Amino acid sequence: MKRRIITLTERLVAGMPEPDDYFRGLRRPADALPDNVLLFARRDSRSLRPASVASAFHQRWVLIVALAGRGTVVLDRKPYPLRPGEVLLVPPLHLHAYDNLDPQPTWLFTTFEWPGHTAMGETWRGARRLDTNARTRLDALIKAWRAPRPDGLLAAAHLLALLRHLFPRTKKAPQTSPAVQGGLIAAVRAAAEVEPAGKLRALAHRMGISESHLRARFRDEAGISLGRYLREARLRQSAIWLREEDISIKTAAERAGYPDIYTFSRAFRRSMGTPPSQVRDQISRRRGR
């Protein structure tokens, strides 16, 4: 067996040409590797459409691969149909839901952090086909993930190769100060739990930047405006209040900073796709009222 391995290696080496330049070899990609990579599969449409309202914005990139079964990913209220053999990339903080799903799809999800990358430019929008090259990279990623002793560096390298092939024009975020890097979205998320007036100014001051710069940097990092994120975050938080605290719609509107329940209900339905009264009705039915 040992001699056979050596023979195979010798065959690979045979005929290997001399380099033209002894100082120029294969370069590693300039992109930062994805980090904290997680793979999982969904095989039941009910697991993709939970009965309760989602509790928060997701904070990671999500790569969705439709292996079997059709469905629609509603990304920022715009539908993106997915057929078997197609891939969709969802950046952090972009609301997404699922519709028109086959009863038993097989969809692979890869969630990850991608330091230094931004959702700006929208070069990631739209489904991509899994060609032979992409399938080879996807298979390598799955094998690295399912290995007896998984190697995070190897999985990240295969994921980056897949992303670079499918989304070659995804932009890197501009360089920013160390105080802003990494913690910007998390810090704003914490600030979003309260009214933004004054709080964002204090947050910007702690980071050593102006409020206008904070808003600009957030748009660069998240691909959406800070105002929209805070508005959506408060509405989603109000859905949690309605679901978990059993408060009135009027109270939820006041907590979310809306002047009346009519303005609140319009904004809630536009963001959530359902009126707040429906969330209240679901709670009442579950409690047998």
Residue 207 inside a domain? The answer is yes
Number of folded domains that form the chain = 3
Asked if residue 162 is part of any domain, the answer here is yes
Strand order in the sheet with 86-90: 35-42, 106-113, 61-68, 86-90, 128-129
In a domain, 19, yes or no: no
Q: Do 213 and 128 reside in the same domain of the chain?
A: no
Q: Give the range of the structural domain holding residue 250, as residue numbers without chain letter.
A: 227-289
Task: Report the chain's mean pLDDT, rounded to a whole number.
Answer: 77
pTM above threshold 0.75 = no
Digit-coded pLDDT (tens) for 84-114: 999 999 887 677 788 889 988 999 999 998 8
**Which residue, 200, 223, 246, sits at the end of a domain?**
223
Please check whether residues 40 and 110 belong to one and the same domain.
Answer: yes
- Domain-located, residue 30: no
Percent of the chain with pLDDT over 70: 72
Do 183 and 153 fall into the same domain? no
Per DSSP, helices labelled H in the chain are 2-13, 45-48, 132-146, 152-166, 184-191, 199-207, 211-222, 226-240, 249-255, 261-272, 276-286
Asked if residue 156 and residue 68 are part of one domain, the reply reads yes
Among 166, 183, 199, where does a domain finish? 166
Write out pLDDT tens, residues 132-172.
Answer: 999 999 999 999 999 999 999 999 999 999 998 998 765 54
Taking the chain (289 residues) in runs of 10, the rounded mean pLDDT of each run is 62 81 75 88 80 53 93 84 93 79 92 74 77 95 93 93 83 44 60 54 74 80 74 78 80 86 85 75 54
Same domain, 191 and 249: no
Q: Give a yes or no: residue 10 inside a domain.
A: no
